[in-house]
Every structure is written in structure tokens, then in C-alpha cells.
């Protein structure tokens, strides 16, 4: 089978190699062999290639953490499932492995590319907004990277929850994307100070909930425009800068800093993950898939995503 492999750590364009005659993975206990119908590209794919992610599969490994796959053998043959790949047999290949207990039914209203992009981003956004921040109707939600993969999901779910959604983006094209997703206000951070824009839009009150997958300046600015008893949910650090939280400032201003490592729920509370999937399937949001690419484009897609030049979700169709 064709599969991308990483034999040494580094930049995706340097270390990701497409192998034409890779061995098909063999499922172990509790695993499913699936034919990859579509794989979604995620920021952790770039971090994992560089050895900078909390999960470090043994070399060599096939990257790709998220997919829509069709069970290839056994009693569940033909089932269309979504979820995470069981590394080192990742999703950037014609066949991959999935955990039988963790794989979830692909929503019928989504095509393969949309289904592949449905799991991680929407689960992350849902747990951040509802489980961690307890977002309430009528509150103001500030979403950083509002045109990106997980940010676009947060914009959609925030609107569905009845919030006033402010999306921060980088550039006019991304501003158009965020507006199309339903954001009530879009702020181009290249053109204006987002903290000032948030204060102006809320009459000086600030954002009740901040969804931050960026870190760095995004976090620092958020502390200047978070509301009294507001909640800042730390989802990731796509900027590459992990801020040192100003705890004295949090105390004086009465706001909360909340961490979200969604992967912990898969082991600590898998029932919550399944309940979230059921709620999201019923809500039926449609992922913004900006590109459906051939498998050969995987390394370039991971590079582009890490460089911050993409919008929505990139998917690979083996």
C-alpha cells in the first residue's frame, strides 16, 4: 500500500516520505483495520513530525491522527467510522488502524472529507465551550484563529449556543471566511488591536469566554479584554509561544484560566466523548473543508497548515 512515513524528526517537508510498497498494518487486540476514505490534516501532525508533541510514536511511523475509514475486515466490515488513528499506523496511508472502542459512526449528512474533519476540532471546541467554560446563551465569545480548523468549529458551536461571537483572524481572506461561518464581529489582528475592538463591541465589559488555540500575543491581549468572571480556555499554542499567565492580574480582575487537553477525556471519561459525538451529530454542523487533496500532497499540506496560511480544514483522499 501507499503510506507516508517518518524515519527521522524534523520539518514535515524534510522528513515525510511517501512509500509506495509499505506493509499493510496488522490489527492487534481491540483494533480495527480500516481503508482510509479521507484523512484530515491537524496541527499536531506537524508537531509530531518534529518530535514536539506530547505523543511521540516510535520511529518509523506513519503520520496522520484523524480520519474517516471503512472497516476492511472482520464482523464490522463496511462500517464507516471516524476518529483517531492508532499510531504508528497513522491516517496518511491507504490503510490505518483505529481503536475499536473509540471509533465513532460517521454522521450520514457528511461526505468522507467532511466526516474526517468532524472529530477532533468539534470535540475540542465542544468540550472547551460547554464542559470547561460553561458558555451560556447571550454571553460574548472571543475566538482566536476564527478561520482555522478548530477556530472555525468554535465559531459555529458558539453561534449554535446563542453567544455573540467575535472572531479574530489574520488577514482579509480569513476575515471573509469567519464572517461566512456566522461570526457576529470579525477582527483582523493585522489591521487593528483586537482587545480594543472587543471592549468597544461590548461597551467596555469584555468577552465572557475566550477560546485560545494560539497562545503568545493572543493570550496576552485576551487578558486585557476578558470580562469580570470571564473564562479563558487554553486549547493550544499554535503561535509557538507558551505564555506565563499573569496570576496576579487574574486575581485582581476575577477571571479564570482553564486548560483543555481533550485527549484526556478519551481515557478518563470516554462516555462523555460518546455523548458529545451524539450531540454534535444531532446538531449537524458542517466542517469548512477548504481543500480535498490527493495523498501525494500530505507533506505540503502539513507544512502549509503549520505555517498558518490555510483556512478551515485540509483533507487527503487516498
What domains are there in the chain, each with its CATH number? 3-119+269-316 (3.90.180.10), 133-259 (3.40.50.720)
Greatest Cα-to-Cα distance within the chain, rounded to the nearest angstrom: 61
Structure pTM?
0.94
Instruction: Give residue 245's pLDDT.
Output: 82
Instruction: Give residue 103's pLDDT.
Output: 97
pLDDT in tens, 160-198: 999 999 999 999 999 999 999 999 999 999 999 999 999
| Spatial CA neighbour of 215 closest among 237, 233, 235, 197 | 237
Instruction: Give residue 239's pLDDT.
Output: 81
Q: Is the pLDDT of residue 240 over 90?
A: no
Pairing between strand 66-71 and 80-84?
Answer: antiparallel
Instruction: Give residue 188's pLDDT.
Output: 98
pLDDT in tens, 109-164: 999 999 999 999 999 999 999 999 999 999 999 999 999 999 999 999 999 999 99
The DSSP secondary structure of 184-224, one letter per residue, reads SEEEETTTS-HHHHHHHHTTT--EEEEEESS-THHHHHHHT
Strands (E), the chain: 3-6, 16-19, 31-40, 66-71, 80-84, 95-99, 104-105, 140-144, 164-169, 185-188, 207-212, 226-234, 256-259, 289-294, 313-317
What is the tally of helices (H) and strands (E) in the chain?
A: 12, 15
Amino acid at each position: 500500500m501507499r503510506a507516508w512515513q517518518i524515519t527521522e524528526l524534523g520539518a514535515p517537508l524534510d522528513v515525510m516520505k511517501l512509500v509506495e510498497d509499505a506493509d499493510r498494518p496488522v490489527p492487534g487486540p481491540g483494533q480495527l483495520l480500516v481503508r482510509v476514505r479521507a484523512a484530515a490534516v491537524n496541527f499536531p501532525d506537524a508537531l509530531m513530525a518534529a518530535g514536539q508533541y506530547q505523543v511521540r510514536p516510535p520511529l518509523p511511523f506513519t503520520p496522520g491522527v484523524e480520519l474517516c475509514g471503512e472497516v476492511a475486515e472482520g464482523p464490522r466490515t463496511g462500517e464507516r467510522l471516524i476518529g483517531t488513528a492508532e499510531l504508528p499506523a497513522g491516517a496518511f496511508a491507504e490503510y490505518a488502524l483505529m481503536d475499536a472502542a473509540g471509533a465513532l459512526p460517521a454522521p450520514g449528512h457528511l461526505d468522507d472529507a467532511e466526516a474526517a474533519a468532524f472529530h477532533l476540532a468539534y470535540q475540542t471546541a465542544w468540550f472547551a465551550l460547554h464542559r470547561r467554560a460553561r458558555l451560556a446563551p447571550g454571553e460574548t465569545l472571543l475566538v482566536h484563529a476564527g478561520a482555522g480548523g478548530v477556530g472555525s468549529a468554535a465559531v459555529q458551536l458558539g453561534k449554535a449556543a446563542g453567544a455573540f461571537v467575535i472572531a479574530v483572524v489574520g488577514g482579509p481572506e480569513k476575515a471573509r471566511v469567519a464572517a461566512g461561518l456566522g461570526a457576529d464581529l470579525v477582527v483582523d489582528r493585522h489591521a487593528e488591536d483586537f482587545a480594543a475592538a472587543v471592549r468597544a463591541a461590548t461597551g467596555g465589559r469584555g468577552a465572557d469566554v475566550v477560546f485560545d488555540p494560539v497562545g503568545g500575543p493572543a493570550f496576552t491581549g485576551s487578558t486585557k479584554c476578558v470580562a469580570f468572571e470571564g473564562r479563558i480556555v487554553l486549547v493550544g499554542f499554535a503561535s509557538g509561544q507558551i505564555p506565563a499567565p499573569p496570576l496576579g492580574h487574574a486575581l485582581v480582575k476575577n477571571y479564570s484560566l482553564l486548560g483543555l487537553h481533550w485527549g484526556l477525556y478519551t481515557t478518563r471519561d470516554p462516555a462523555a466523548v460518546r455523548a458529545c459525538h451524539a450531540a454534535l451529530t444531532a446538531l449537524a454542523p458542517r466542517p469548512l473543508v477548504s481543500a480535498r487533496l490527493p495523498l501525494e500532497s500530505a507533506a505540503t499540506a502539513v507544512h502549509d497548515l503549520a505555517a498558518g496560511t490555510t483556512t478551515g480544514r485540509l483533507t487527503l483522499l487516498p
